[in-house]
Amino acid sequence: MDNKKILLSIDLDGTLLRDDKKIDDVSFKYINRLKDSGYKLVINTGRSYRTAARFFKDEIDIDIICNNGNLCRNVRSEEDIFINPIKKEDALLFLNDLDDNKIQALTHINLYKEGYDIATIDKKDMDEKCRLYIGGFGDHVLYVNDFDEVEADITSIVFVGEYEDLLPYKLKFSEMSDKFNYFLMRIQSKNNYMLEILPKKSNKWYGLEEYMENKNLTSYKKLCIGDDENDRLMIEEADYGIAMLNSKDDLKANVAFVSDYDNNNLGAIKAIEKILKTGDLDEY
């Protein structure tokens, strides 16, 4: 395969990251070898930029598409490549509609250089699981009295709580506006749930398309690998799409190619290497 015309888009959690939330040194060496050989690479994750960039800052110069396609930044220069924010007036429609004390609302914001990644209201009666989730952002939380005070680009809206409390809001918000996607999912590391609201065009695949436009890579073949529902469109639309062995069964059942190994056994780089060597997915 022509290594000067291949762009690799790699997911983090469940793909490049092991279950212990670390990246194997073998993976870093392999990625650096690919870059040195002329392949183009980008990390494509649902994580916020800061929580994704910490894996790469001392290891490799790479671009990261984060917040499910809403923001892209380079880890060395820390300059934005693109951002697709949610309009503040749209965000307030959802944030001002919450009247359940068991649910905590927050917004992911683009105030990275100022030291903030999310904005939320610090409620005295905040559920302990919600406080634990927010605590994961350390000192990078901007506490406000009202979300109208937030003066920053909003990259996503999140509600944290129990599944049965969030589900009615997902249904209600879905009826309120068809301009957004509504994802209700489990936060595995926190034993909790989150309802994330993103614009229709906020998706890893659309983020990858915008990245290619910005980098003049539109003629490149796309090799994409991931493990979760937010990777589905990226995998399906790619020229070379791979689902991880540890993906959910419904994702594996609806894609053509599944890695031979899981994320704890170098499954991502082994699958990429296998495809790059054969040059033909029909042989994979």
Provide the token pair at 148: 């109208």
Ranges of beta strands (E only) in the chain are 6-10, 40-44, 63-66, 71-74, 80-83, 104-111, 116-120, 141-143, 154-161, 180-187, 192-199, 221-226, 240-243
Cα 125 to Cα 122: distance, rounded to the nearest angstrom: 9
Give the per-residue pLDDT at 282: 44
Domain boundaries, the chain: 3-83+202-283, 88-199
Q: Does domain 3-83+202-283 have CATH number 3.40.50.1000?
A: yes
What angle in degrees, to the nearest 10, is found between the helix axes of 88-95 and 163-176?
Answer: 130
- Rounded to the nearest angstrom, the gap between the alpha carbon of residue 266 and the centroid of all alpha carbons in its chain is 20
Q: Which CATH number fits domain 88-199: 3.40.50.2300, 3.30.365.10, 3.30.1240.10, 3.40.50.300?
A: 3.30.1240.10
pLDDT per residue rounded down to tens, the chain (284 residues): 555 699 999 999 999 999 999 999 999 999 999 999 999 999 999 998 999 999 998 889 999 999 999 999 999 999 999 999 999 999 999 999 988 888 999 999 999 999 999 999 988 888 888 888 888 899 999 999 999 999 999 999 999 999 999 999 999 999 999 999 898 888 765 568 999 999 888 889 999 999 999 999 999 999 999 998 889 999 999 999 999 999 989 889 888 899 999 999 999 999 999 999 876 544 43
CA angle 160, 163, 167 (to 5 degrees): 95
pLDDT at 252: 92
Q: Which two tokens stand for residue 89?
A: 């007036």
Q: Could you give the maximum distance between any two Cα atoms of the chain, in Å?
A: 58
Dihedral of the CA atoms 75, 120, 94, 112 (nearest 10)?
-20
Q: Do 227 and 243 touch, CB atoms closer than 8 A?
A: yes
Side-by-side strand order, sheet with 71-74:
80-83, 71-74, 63-66, 40-44, 6-10, 221-226, 240-243
**Residue-level pLDDT at 4:** 65
Q: Look up residue 122 and give its two tokens.
A: 């610090």
Contacts 24+ apart (CB under 8 A), 280-284: 281/240, 281/256, 281/257, 284/257
Token pair of 187, please? 């936060």
Neighbours of 154 (CB within 10 A): 22
Q: Are 45 and 208 in contact (CB under 8 A)?
A: no
pTM of the full predicted structure? 0.87
The structure tokens listed for 60 are 């490799």
Q: How far is CA 43 from the centre of its chain?
A: 9
DSSP run (H or E) holding 170: helix 163-176
Q: Which pLDDT value is given to residue 243? A: 96
How buried is 188 (Cβ within 10 angstroms: 0-12 exposed, 13-18 middle, 19+ buried)?
exposed
The reported pLDDT for the residue numbered 128 is 83
pLDDT of residue 283: 40
